[in-house]
Structure 1
Amino acid sequence: MKHFKIFSFTNKTNVIIRLALAMVLFISTAAKSQEIQDTKDVWNKMESIIKNVKPVTFRNKTYNILQYGAKSNGTFNNTEAIKKAIKVCSKNGGGIVLIPKGKFLSGAIHLENNVNLHLQEGAEIFFSTNPKDYPLVHTTFEGTECMNYSPLIYAYQKTNVAITGKGTINGQANNDNWWSWCGKDTYGWKDGMPKQQKDIENLMNMAENGIEVPERIFGENHYLRPNFVEFFECTNVLVKDIKIINAPFWILHPMKATNVTIDGVAINSHGPNNDGCDPEYSKNVIIKNCSFNTGDDCIAIKAGRDADGRRVGIKSENIIVQNCKMYDGHGGVTIGSEMSAGVSNVYVENCIMSSPNLDVAIRLKTNSKRGGLIENFYVRNIEIGEVKEAVLKVDMFYNVHGNQEGKFIPRIENISLENVKVKYGGKFSILATGYKGSPIKNITFKNVIIEKVDTPFSIENVENLKLINTYINGKIIENYEN
């Protein structure tokens, strides 16, 4: 009887153990299955966004600017000839405004509905460096709306607009004109020369004090540099195949724009604040097959600055980056620092990033004056040759233009890097600093290999860091205690 009881108890124990193991296996398998499904859902959502971005279409009618008085002698100002061709084209239902082979000097070019500004291979528009050639328009400077010099190419509240072709747009910016306004001697500024700092401070104060945008007047006798190409409140936009060089300031700037495709564009411009592409308050933006060699961030997703961002209150969302190459720049793909209205749903895949002058591959930057929420930043299939500082940098204490402390504590959550290979990782694999009361939440590295990094982690106030099949300096890293 005793023997039977012992045998019975042992059997029960075995059954319990087996049931427990089966339950653990079931939970583990279910969790893994859920993880796979979640990953599929993320990238399926990206595909659905792409399908919803309708291609632009134009009438098969061409308006050659030579027929409207343009001359390619390098000295004739073609602003009026290009303007006339664009007006006639749009009035007649749209089509192609052709910039033929040659060099054409111009001031500001303003696009109209249903116009494709097409640069033939061998064509170059080189822009005047005379500020008087850029009339006052409703635009922005570093995430704050104002009345300022027109962008060099500008579309305001237009539908179905494009810039295409194998030609070049050349802002002609250098240390002898626009760049020196930044106030740095490395860009040509010297004692006694004008600079932008006072104007920036005045603009920030206007926004903080609720001054209406039409009353924030800058332009002539002020020193806020113009954006290069800006699509302001436009729908259905295409920029394809062109080369862009020597920008005064931000280069491609979709602003409050919807359904934007930037495809096959080559950007090479190393001036101050020469971000390659800055989608701001924009939705459904596809950036693909492009190359970026810049003086600032290659791609920087924006959503307004401080009080002005909160006033506008339009998130940037559904931003897709595919098959791009990033060379020089502060960051490969970044969010901020102007992001007060929030950024959601960013997808980056199949890109190559590498340069001794690339500071960070993936960068999120904000502070307590910005506030706002950054969420859902997904990266996969990236090759990184070399970065200086970090593979991933997330900074809630980004500091520029003096005191950046405020009462608007930002939130950052859901960042995922998958299938990433890094040959030279710089100083840190992850450099992340959050607030104790608002930690950075949910960073996942999966199938990530980082070689030759000085310090694997510098992390403060990060919640739920997952490292799955992640190797740093040849060693698998299974967990990290924050």
Structure 2
Amino acid sequence: MTLKTLSRLLMISSAIGFAFFLSCKAGKTEIDSEKAWKRADKIISEIVVPEFPDRTFNVADYGAKADGSTNNSEAFKKAIAACNGAGGGMVLVPAGKYLTGPIHLKSNVNFHLAEGAEILFSKEKSDYLPMVHTSYEGVELMNYSPLIYAFEQENIAVTGKGTFNGQANNGNWWPWSGADRYGFKEGMQEQKNEHNLPRLRKMNEEGTPVAERTFGEGHQLRPTFFEPFGCENVLVKGVTFTNAPFWVMHPIKSNNVTVDGVTVRSHGPNNDGCDPEYSKNVHIKNCLFDTGDDCIAIKSGRNNDGRRVAIPSENIVVENCVMKDGHGGVVMGSEISAGVRNVFVRNCQMDSPNLDRAIRIKTNTLRGGFVENVYVKDVQVGQVKEAVLKINTYYGIYANQEGEYIPTIKNIYMENVQVENGGEYGILIKGREQSPVENVNFTNVTIKSTETPLSVENCEPIKFINTTINGQKY
């Protein structure tokens, strides 16, 4: 039995076990909070964290130069190949500045940055060719390589106290977003041009094979920063990411992912901190997110692509993290067509006048999908701009966001949540008449101040236990 098969069997048994303690009475779901959080602990205990042989491959021995100007792509490639060929170990990057193109990880390799090491990623777009199988906003395609990439590998890690600097600012990748504040100027090519996103969207609608969805040179779709694609047993620990072209950490179709003690300081366009997509058994802990978009955004494909792949993102635990800045603290969507289930968030701090929402679920009838079994506990919120909890089934930043796929959202639990300033809304929910939001629960929640305590459409009555908003008990 392969490791991948064993992992999938374990996940199936975990899902069965999880469903066992959810009991339905008269169509309503009831849950024992203590059992739910024991389930979170069980998920964590079952995640395989990779370990590596005690062998070190110093990139300097393969020709790497820490001068900030020599391109070290070949030296890094040789060190990774040697490590992989020997059966695994650590590829060590000593202190200093190292320029490189994309880094492609192989099985059983721990790519380790020593304290004082900084990786500077090349600004030459041609360095990120040939194209690789990747994804853009929930749609698979052939495009520029992510800055750090692994495809169908096992037991990989990126660790250490150093910094990965994507150098996407200052006129590099960011202008392709089309936003003036990121360097876009009239006459430049950008992602919304017909040969970019509209072309990719059409390929998604028509079911074009991924191998034929070729972009890369001559197109303006930015690569992700760190992307393990179809990988087993992934660890990201201790490092700092900054100046990302696009999403920062994007585990896609991957199982057993641990993100521990990572710092993300990246305020570029679409600079989400961590976006698990079609991924299972994910543990995000002890991290600082200071981002230009969502801190954590859980995804599962956009529209037809999500329905084609049909792998929900599930069994995701977020704990002991600080969400300093970003559009949302923990978000599900909007690329969510294959669904999301079993998300646990505990012991986190969220506090910024620029942080729009603490917990957010966003979809529409083109995306469809489902969100179920979301648990939030022991969270401190200083201030958010729009809402503490926002659920929106009419999400759309583009035109024509209505379709035939009615989303379902149910079993949302918030417990022991303390909020100083809830912004415009304490709770903002827009469900669908055909499929109202079900079973939203607030227990021991205090929102000291907010402009509008509740704005709720097409949702079952929210269950309040010992909850106070603007001094009023609910």
> Taking structure 2 as the reference length, what is the TM-score of the superposition?
0.93
Contact preservation (8 Å) 2:332, 2:361: yes
Query: Alignment partner of 1:253: what SS?
Result: coil
Residue 440 of structure 1 is matched in structure 2 by 437
Contact preservation (8 Å) 2:95, 2:117: yes
- Which of 25, 36, 41 matches 1:47? 41
Residue 367 of structure 1 is matched in structure 2 by 364
State how 1:84-163 maps to structure 2 within 5 Å: 84-135=78-129, 136-163=131-158
Residue 13 of structure 1 is matched in structure 2 by none
Q: Report sequence identity in percent.
A: 58
Contact preservation (8 Å) 1:69, 1:81: yes
Query: Alignment partner of 2:36: what SS?
Result: helix
Residue 407 of structure 1 is matched in structure 2 by 404
Residue 173 of structure 1 is matched in structure 2 by 168
Q: Partner letter of residue 406 of structure 1? A: G
Would you say 1:79 and 2:73 are equivalent positions? yes
Shift of 1:55: 2.0
Contact preservation (8 Å) 1:276, 1:298: yes
Residue 228 of structure 2 is matched in structure 1 by 231
Query: Alignment partner of 2:460: what SS?
Result: strand
Shift of 1:35: 10
Contact preservation (8 Å) 1:175, 1:189: no
Q: Matched residues in 2 for 1:185 and 1:323: separation?
A: 35
Residue 50 of structure 2 is matched in structure 1 by 56
Q: Matched residues in 2 for 1:373 and 1:203: separation?
A: 24
- Which of 453, 465, 470 matches 1:468? 465
State how 1:330-345 maps to structure 2 within 5 Å: 330-345=327-342
Q: Matched residues in 2 for 1:78 and 1:298: separation?
A: 31
Would you say 1:268 and 2:262 are equivalent positions? no
Shift of 1:37: 6.5
Note closer, same or farther for the CA distance 1:345–1:168 as it changes in structure 2 (3 Å cut): same
Residue 321 of structure 1 is matched in structure 2 by 318
Q: Matched residues in 2 for 1:154 and 1:66: separation?
A: 21
Consecutive aligned runs of 4 or more in structure 1 exceeding 3 Å deviation: 34-37
Shift of 1:175: 4.2
Residue 200 of structure 2 is matched in structure 1 by 203
> Taking structure 1 as the reference length, what is the TM-score of the superposition?
0.91
Deviations 1:163-221 (A, max 9, x none): 00000000011141101001111111111111011311100100110100000000011
Shift of 1:36: 9.6
Shift of 1:130: 1.2
RMSD (Å) for aligned C-alpha atoms: 1.2
Contact preservation (8 Å) 2:29, 2:439: no
Ranges in structure 2 where 5+ consecutive residues have no aligned partner: 1-24
Contact preservation (8 Å) 2:249, 2:273: yes
Aligned residues: 445
Q: Matched residues in 1 for 2:290 and 2:400: separation?
A: 30
Deviations 1:98-130 (A, max 9, x none): 010000000000000100000000000010111
Query: Alignment partner of 1:154: what SS?
Result: strand
Shift of 1:464: 3.4
- Which of 153, 158, 164 matches 2:159? 164
Shift of 1:399: 0.6
Q: Partner letter of residue 181 of structure 2? A: T
Highest CA radius of gyration, 1 or 2? 1
Would you say 1:219 and 2:216 are equivalent positions? yes
